Amino acid sequence: MTPASMAAAAAGAARTKAEGSRLTPADESSRCPYLVVRNPAAVRDVLQRPSDFSPANALIAVTPLDGPALRVLQGVRFALPPVLASNDTATHAGIRKVVAGFFTPATVAAMEPRIRELAQEAARTAADQLESFGSADLVQAVAAFPPAVVMLELLGLPVQDLPDLKQWGRDSMELFWGWPDESRQLELAHSAAGFYVWIRQLVAESSKSAGRNLFKSLAEHGLSTPEICSLGYFLLIAGQETTTQLISTTLFRLLEGSTPFVWDDAASHAGSNAAVRHVLVSESSVPTWRRVAAQDTNLGDETVAAGTEILLELSGNPITSPASPESPLPPWQTDQNKQATNFSLVFGAGIHRCLGAKLAELEATVIVQETATTLPLIQLHDREPEWIHLLSFQAPRTVSVTKAIR
Ligand code: HEM
């Protein structure tokens, strides 16, 4: 099953699906609220027509929140007004420019030594745990914290409360992209409310601090406090937990031996980067993303009614996965244009394309490489870990390893 079809199955059976550019009606009685689009050309078409296919639903809870959870959020004046990822108005371009100023190609490239330093430190922690306890969880030891530290440093924000930040990020992902029942919603809403209050405090402090930081720049751009909090809430999750999840899946698949690359390959920059790109294309941490039809429009030959919610498959579609003897490329696709189709969609496309794409790829590559270099002789301790499977996020929760017996 592909990520999008797993997500669709979890939400109910797929109502319609796009194969090629055709949309095929499926079971009318099913409850999946999404039009699932899998064909890469159709996905790209949707992403590049923001006035027809709006991102306004990007941050709407997949499972409508019940009264008790809503009251907890209202209690802290929690609100996510459209600012960046879900903004379909003309203000998006100016705000995006402010945020992009913190992730320029030059800034990201200059961060590589710092990323490597953090990666080496994290890998040594894992090595120490292996020595002391005989096992280590690579998600906690190497994947979890470096992306959060790097993100906060790039944004000019204090590096503090990291364990809370990680927990808040995972909880908010589940609240907005998962299928929690009423009691779980309540737990998650308390966590999201705590996160929101923390962000509001940080926004207030940052606007008074001396140096350059994202929140201050957004205030200078004219954003209100609720708008800055909304952007901060999205970015402090999207800017680090997605990368943690990409690293976790890459480490797991390499150690499992289910990628075209082996653990030893990952000890080089090129080998690690190839493994990271393979995971991005085959089972990215963000396998799907949403859009909603802003007006009656068409996709290929089919009409799409205004208000139709769309689930785009960005990764994991068998026809977009690398060729192998068991699944050769379709005759109309060359290896070259196929790679371009694949990789160019995993971070979205068009005016909302991910602003952290280069950073995420660099972080994942360096962290996987340093882990494979420092721990050449390890093996999976748990080959069937629990996974995070949400509408738009996925990764193993743990990558538990022991020393290899060779
Ligand atoms: C493996 C890691 C990551 C993946 C797979 C990923 C994927 C995505 C996707 C699919 C989108 C939606 C694109 C669209 O609507 O066309 C997005 C948006 C975004 N991402 Fe990422 N992302 C990752 C890491 C990051 C990082 C590290 C940052 C920043 C530190 C970041 C910042 C953003 C921002 C700001 C947006 C919204 C852009 C806009 O609406 O203009 N992401 N990302």
pLDDT at position 317: 65
pLDDT at position 12: 41
pLDDT in tens, 88-127: 999 999 999 999 999 999 999 999 999 999 999 999 999 9
pTM: 0.91
Cα of 68 to ligand 1 centre, how many Å?
Answer: 31
Which atom of ligand 1 approaches the CA of 284 most closely? 5
Q: Is the pLDDT of residue 319 over 50?
A: no
Domain limits for position 389: 3-403
Whether residue 166 has its Cβ less than 6 Å from ligand 1: no
Cα of 381 to ligand 1 centre, how many Å?
Answer: 32
Residue 330 pLDDT grade (very low, low, confident, very high; cuts 50, 70, 90): very low
Pocket test for ligand 1, best of 235, 347, 352, 358 (most atoms within 8 A of CB): 347
How many Å apart are CA 268 and CA 259, to the nearest integer?
Answer: 16
Strands 309-313, 34-37: pairing is parallel
What's the rounded mean pLDDT across residues 226-249? 98
User: Whose CA is closest to 352, among 3, 54, 40?
Assistant: 54
Query: CB burial class (10 A; 0-12, 13-18, 19+) of residue 369?
Result: buried
37, 312 in Cβ contact below 8 A? yes
Residue 342 pLDDT grade (very low, low, confident, very high; cuts 50, 70, 90): low
For 186, the token pair is 């309540």
43, 296 in Cβ contact below 8 A? no
How many Å apart are CA 215 and CA 343, to the nearest integer?
Answer: 31
Which atom of ligand 1 approaches the CA of 92 most closely? 41
Whether residue 286 has its Cβ less than 6 Å from ligand 1: yes
Number of domains the chain contains: 1
Q: Whose CA is nearest to atom 21 of ligand 1?
A: 354
Q: Is the pLDDT of residue 327 over 60?
A: no
Whether residue 358 has its Cβ less than 6 Å from ligand 1: no
pLDDT at position 14: 31
Q: Is the pLDDT of residue 395 over 80?
A: yes
CATH number of the domain within which 146 lies? 1.10.630.10
Cα of 348 to ligand 1 centre, how many Å?
Answer: 8
Long-range Cβ contact pairs of 64-71 (< 8 A, separation 24 or more): 65/175, 65/185, 65/189, 66/182, 66/185, 66/186, 68/182, 68/185, 68/186, 68/189, 69/175, 69/182, 69/185, 69/186, 69/188, 69/189, 70/189
Stronger pLDDT, 350 or 25, i.e. the higher one = 350
pLDDT at position 32: 73
